[in-house]
Structure 1
Amino acid sequence: MLPSSTPPRLILASSSAYRRELLGRLGLPFEAIAPDLDETPLPGETPPATALRLARAKAEAVATLHPDALVIGSDQVATLDDLQIGKPGDHARALAQLQLMRGREVVFHTALCLWDGRAANPAAAAQLDNVQVRVRFRDLPDAELDAYLRIEQPYDCAGSAKNEGLGIALIDHIHSLDPTALTGLPLIALTGMLRRAGVRFFGT
């Protein structure tokens, strides 16, 4: 709850069911509105820069249509060495991703933007952060990787594994300051941003 009598609307600028589930854990009323954006990386753009640009662009696009709201944008880019790893889309691409990543460390850049449409200075409307997660995958045979994919079908997940589900069995270890970042919405960073925007979580 905000201390004012009329708290601002809270909007998640996303169509992701994973992000909706994570934000729901905070117990705050919110709406989910998907922005219409081209998420293609720009030429020469680094993975962190791509994630931060898209997180801000998603929040700003929805905020433009819904002034005076608090809008949350987030984007995740997975990288193996210099290779960006996106959402596979189908079984064959997902298997190829898991084969490439097995026994190796993948860095997930989960960028977050909170856009405060109430800000008097538009230049200060956005809070931004990039939470990195380092994930080492187990060196598993093709048969296990194929069997996992047929069970969970994580074809809409960058990296082809749902760490919140059976995909955790593919992972050797995870290094992160925010365990929710890997699923797609860093709640530790987000609750800090919301507090700075005046949101209270415990009615005080």
Structure 2
Amino acid sequence: MSELAQRAQISYERKPNTLHSFFALKFHDGDEDRAKVEAIESALNKAGIEITLMARDVEKWGNADIPAGKTLMKDYAFPAMLQCDCNIIEFSEKGVGLGMNGGFCYASRKPIYVIAKTGSDISTTMANIATEIVFYDKPNDLIEPFTRIVNNFPRVILASQSVFRKQQLIDSSIPFEAIVSNVDETPDKTKSFKNQLAEISMRKAQKVLEMTKARGLRLIVAADQNMVFNNVMYGKPKSISDARNLLIQMRGSEEIYFYTGNAVLLAKNDKILQSINITDISRVSFDNISDEKIDDYLKDDICLSICGGIQMNSPFIHLKEGRLSTAQGMTIEYAKEMMANLTI
């Protein structure tokens, strides 16, 4: 008995200097087309491109059925296309589905790369919506042009390994790669809280700019956060005991502040085209909960990786002023605004 088809699993986090592409071709049943796809995929992998293919990743080469009431294109292919960086269409042989595929990606502002055997006839419509057309004789001919495409593809780079900042990008459906800057994060305590955090976030962004200076257009996003309570700045608790003592002090307060320094750089090679460097503040309240509830909360040592030990999704923490994203770890709205300039 066949299994039921499931949506393709595509992570929004990309490996460094790679792309994830939807891949489409006019597919025929049989091993010949499967071998063709695998040869092309091998070449694309060498160029830094991973692919999602409906025949393999959803239909399991004919061993998974589309549930009643659903269609492959609308319920499986279109959502996958939106999660991918781009669309690669093998157009050596024309097909109605390929036109639907290209039209949807074009309307969704996803770059479309058409590949075809040398001498193939590319329709005027497909040629007009294609970002680039690449002809090839053998699959390995695709490695050089797609290596160039990967190196120059506009992307978001998170200058952090923070699981919370990664989750903010994932929740916003933004594909990204993460590069750790490993800069000195010692604050200049002669400066204000706001200036300290803005400066550290910019250190992170500029270091990643330097690390990626050989690459094309990209948006580098960095942040640094601390919590301020009773005019004292707190980072991540060093132990469960420290976290507990701080939470006991803060419970019942409506004057807990998250200071988040943000640095966003739109850059091409080693040139900064546009930048934002600002510290935002959000104020939260902490319900007057019991010692038992605090101890129950602390059973998960995730509190040791969060400023002040506070998770914003906790039922006893409430945003009172400012943006939720600021309290969560970075003011993601700045990156969203500048992404309008991150185009091919």
Deviates more, 1:8-17 or 1:35-44: 35-44
- Residue 309 of structure 2 aligns to a residue whose secondary structure is coil
1:128 counterpart = 2:270: no
Kindly provide the CA deviation profile for residues 48-100 of structure 1, in whole angstroms up to 9, marking residues without a partner as x: 11211111111111111102432111111211132001100321111011012
In structure 2, what is the Cα distance between the partners aligned to 1:120 and 1:160? Answer: 37
In structure 2, what is the Cα distance between the partners aligned to 1:147 and 1:141? Answer: 10
In structure 2, what is the Cα distance between the partners aligned to 1:70 and 1:135? Answer: 30
Deviates more, 1:13-22 or 1:103-112: 103-112
Matched residue, 2:334? 189
In structure 2, what is the Cα distance between the partners aligned to 1:118 and 1:180? Answer: 27
CA apart distance, 1:10: 1.9
In structure 2, what is the Cα distance between the partners aligned to 1:72 and 1:7? Answer: 17
Q: How has the CA–CA distance of structure 1 residues 25 and 140 changed in structure 2, closer, same or farther, with 3 Å as cutoff?
A: closer
User: Between Structure 1 and Structure 2, how many residues are aligned?
Assistant: 193
- Residue 324 of structure 2 aligns to a residue whose secondary structure is coil
In structure 1, what is the Cα distance between the partners aligned to 2:212 and 2:110? Answer: 19
In structure 2, what is the Cα distance between the partners aligned to 1:46 and 1:75? Answer: 14
In structure 1, what is the Cα distance between the partners aligned to 2:279 and 2:269? Answer: 22
2:219·2:342 contact (CA, 8 Å) conserved in 1? no
- Of Structure 1 and Structure 2, which has the larger fraction of its residues in helix? 2
Matched residue, 1:76? 225
Q: Any runs of at least 4 consecutive aligned residues in structure 1 with deviations exceeding 3 A, and if so which? A: 119-122
In structure 2, what is the Cα distance between the partners aligned to 1:86 and 1:177? Answer: 20
1:199 counterpart = 2:328: no
Higher-RCO chain (CA-CA 8 Å, sequence separation at least 6):
1
**Equivalent in 81, 96, 107 of residue 245 of structure 2:** 96
Deviates more, 1:145-154 or 1:70-79: 145-154
**Equivalent in 134, 139, 154 of residue 288 of structure 2:** 139
- Residue 11 of structure 1 aligns to a residue whose secondary structure is strand
What is the 5 A alignment of 1:14-25?
Answer: 14-25=160-171
In structure 1, what is the Cα distance between the partners aligned to 2:232 and 2:167? Answer: 29
CA apart distance, 1:120: 8.9
Q: How has the CA–CA distance of structure 1 residues 65 and 149 changed in structure 2, closer, same or farther, with 3 Å as cutoff?
A: same
In structure 1, what is the Cα distance between the partners aligned to 2:182 and 2:323? Answer: 28
In structure 2, what is the Cα distance between the partners aligned to 1:170 and 1:27? Answer: 27
Q: How has the CA–CA distance of structure 1 residues 7 and 136 changed in structure 2, closer, same or farther, with 3 Å as cutoff?
A: same
Q: 1:95 is matched by which residue type in structure 2?
A: R
In structure 2, what is the Cα distance between the partners aligned to 1:120 and 1:22? Answer: 27
Q: How has the CA–CA distance of structure 1 residues 199 and 125 changed in structure 2, closer, same or farther, with 3 Å as cutoff?
A: closer
* CA RMSD, Structure 1 to Structure 2 (Å): 2.5
Gaps of 5+ in 1: none
**Equivalent in 133, 155, 177 of residue 9 of structure 1:** 155
* Aligned residues with identical type, % of pairs: 25
In structure 2, what is the Cα distance between the partners aligned to 1:130 and 1:190? Answer: 14
Gaps of 5+ in 2: 1-108, 112-130, 132-151
Give the number of the structure whose alpha-carbon radius of gyration is greater. Answer: 2
Q: 1:190 is matched by which residue type in structure 2?
A: A
Q: How has the CA–CA distance of structure 1 residues 153 and 11 changed in structure 2, closer, same or farther, with 3 Å as cutoff?
A: closer
Kindly provide the CA deviation profile for residues 171-196 of structure 1, in whole angstroms up to 9, marking residues without a partner as x: 2x31244222211122223212323x
CA apart distance, 1:169: 2.3
What is the 5 A alignment of 1:106-185?
Answer: 106-118=256-268, 122=272, 125-151=274-300, 153-164=302-313, 168-171=314-317, 173-185=318-330
In structure 1, what is the Cα distance between the partners aligned to 2:298 and 2:270? Answer: 49
In structure 1, what is the Cα distance between the partners aligned to 2:178 and 2:207? Answer: 13
